[in-house]
Amino acid sequence: MSKTRSLLSKVLMCLTKEHNTKKLFTKNLLSSCFRSKMAALRRLRQCHSAGSAVSHLHTSSHVCAKQHYKMLVLGGGSGGITMSARMKRIFGAENVAVVEPSEMHYYQPIWTLVGAGAKTAASSGRPTASVMPSGVQWVKSKVQEINPDTNTVRTDDGTEISYEYLIVALGIQLHYEKIKGLPEGFGHPKIGSNYSIQTVEKTWKALQDFKEGNAIFTFPNTPVKCAGAPQKIMYLSDAFLRKTGKRAKANVIYNTSLPVLFGIKKYADSLWEIVKHRDLQVNLRQNLIEVRADKQEAVFENLDNPGETKVFEYEMLHVTPPMGPNLVIKASPLADEAGWLDLKKETLQHTKYPNVFGIGDCTNLPTARTAAAVAAQSAVLNRTISKILKKEKPDKTYDGYTSCPLVTSYNTVILAEFDYNGQPLETFPINQAKERRLMYHLKADVMPHLYWHGLLRGLWGGPGPYRKLLHLGMK
């Protein structure tokens, strides 16, 4: 353990060094940033009679006449904010705009712990204004239509914005409505979901109120973001029921549409051992199709025998919703046949439109959709765009790196890290398939700090450089 702590300390020292270096770099840009802010203020004064809103020098296209930007970013989630911070350094703040309607920004990976009572929902969110890079133009609207042939985007209020370069970071769409009885079923007790700020605290309430019976956890028959989350809450619920003396009266059941427990064999083997040791029931190829919340019943279809269904009574139900591509992307020329943003998986440049790029959950990149993937992608995308602006060929490639901290109790985590090929790509020179207390603290305490103060500021591009350092250059 002392060796592991020492390794983590080295990583954190490296992170601090990088942060300080980039802080100095940012300081050297203050004069140009100041000029950009003053220009933004002058434009605000000119259109003040039409009504204006200022938040950390952010301006809105609802107000100002300017409708063209060198770099337009669609989406203000993790991918959109980190790339807007990076693009601000390249293009200048006044030349970058972000289209995002939400007033709040959430660190969604922590919702697993919120659903288990280990963190509060309030700790997961901050005002969007506080994470939006200062000086960039914040368009507080929803994207309605993308027209890459004319280099324009139309928002839901009818505003048309043109661009020279476009980054699409619109995330993934949740579809609770594709399960009969939802989302209205969340109005009943005993049911929750860690995938929405509106329902995550219902998970914790259902867990606290559990008396005896079935505690059921689901995984849908669609792509999802954070594919480990549906079973993380199962392990945490099992731990809570043991701690409160209710486990003997509980049947903890994981009904997954997948044919495997986890997609990467090294980590799946460890998880199966946990399942057996803790007497958890895993049913493969079972897809939730209906919730009868008034009766506390859940209906599952056997995907190996379509049409065959089974009704489970539940005392607690955690729902992972079906998910799909963003509907605006799906309706645009940017989509592949399935509706996802069609990118070159090495450079994150669009396959057809060379001035269009993408990042995160909305893309068709063949890797797990996580915040860790966004971090690694952001560094590659930043390099790709920098090279293209210089009319050079992109020289940095994305290897599909992603990470899933599999929370297995209130103090242990299996830290899964892997690439496009499903091969482990671990940061630490230890067996990360083993449950470790240190990895739990990394998940619960270090990663949130890294997210708010590193990733969203465009200062964290994943652990790649530190992996090489810790593995003596052999990875």
CA gap 416, 427 in Å, rounded:
10
> Is the Cβ–Cβ distance between 270 and 277 less than 8 Å?
no
Beta bridge partners of 217: 254, 318
Give the mean model confidence (pLDDT) for residues 359-382.
98
Residues 341 and 369 in one domain: yes
33 is a catalytic site residue: no
The domain boundary, picked from 293, 322, 351, lies at 322
User: 334: domain CATH number?
Assistant: 3.50.50.60
DSSP string, 255-302: EESSSSSSSSHHHHHHHHHHHHHTT-EEEETEEEEEEETTTTEEEEEE
Quick one: 200 and 265 in the same domain?
yes
pTM of the model: 0.86
**Residue 160 placed within a domain:** yes
Contact 134, 125 (CB under 8 A): no
Tell me which of 338, 371, 404 is where a domain ends: 404
> Which of 33, 64, 226, 362 is the catalytic position?
226
H-helix or E-strand spanning residue 6: helix 2-28
418, two tokens: 């892997």
Contacts of 95 (CB under 8 A, 6+ apart): 69, 70, 71
236-292 pLDDT per residue, tens = 999 999 999 999 999 999 999 999 999 999 999 999 999 999 999 999 999 999 999
Separation of alpha carbons 467 and 447, rounded Å: 16
| 404 belongs to the catalytic site | yes
The half-sphere exposure of 449 on its side-chain side, counting CA atoms within 13 A, is: 9
Same domain, yes or no: 102 and 119: yes
pLDDT band at 29 (very low <50, low <70, confident <90, very high): very low
308 and 295 both lie in a single domain: yes
Same domain, 72 and 128: yes
**158: domain range?**
67-172+325-404
Is residue 309 within 8 Å of 300, Cβ to Cβ?
Answer: yes
203 and 261 within one domain: yes
Please determine, for residue 163, whether its predicted confidence score (pLDDT) is greater than 70.
yes
How many structural domains compose the chain? 2
Residue 310 pLDDT exceeds 50? yes
- State whether 339 and 384 are in the same domain: yes
Based on the domain organization, do 154 and 223 belong to the same domain? no
For residues 188 and 310, membership in a common domain is answered with: yes
Q: What is the pLDDT of residue 431?
A: 96
Of the residues 14, 33, 47, 404, only one is catalytic, namely 404
Q: If you write DSSP's letter for every residue of 141-165 in order, what string do you get?
A: S-EEEEETTTTEEEETTS-EEEEEE
pLDDT tens per residue across span 184-240? 999 999 999 999 999 999 999 999 999 999 999 999 999 999 999 999 999 999 999
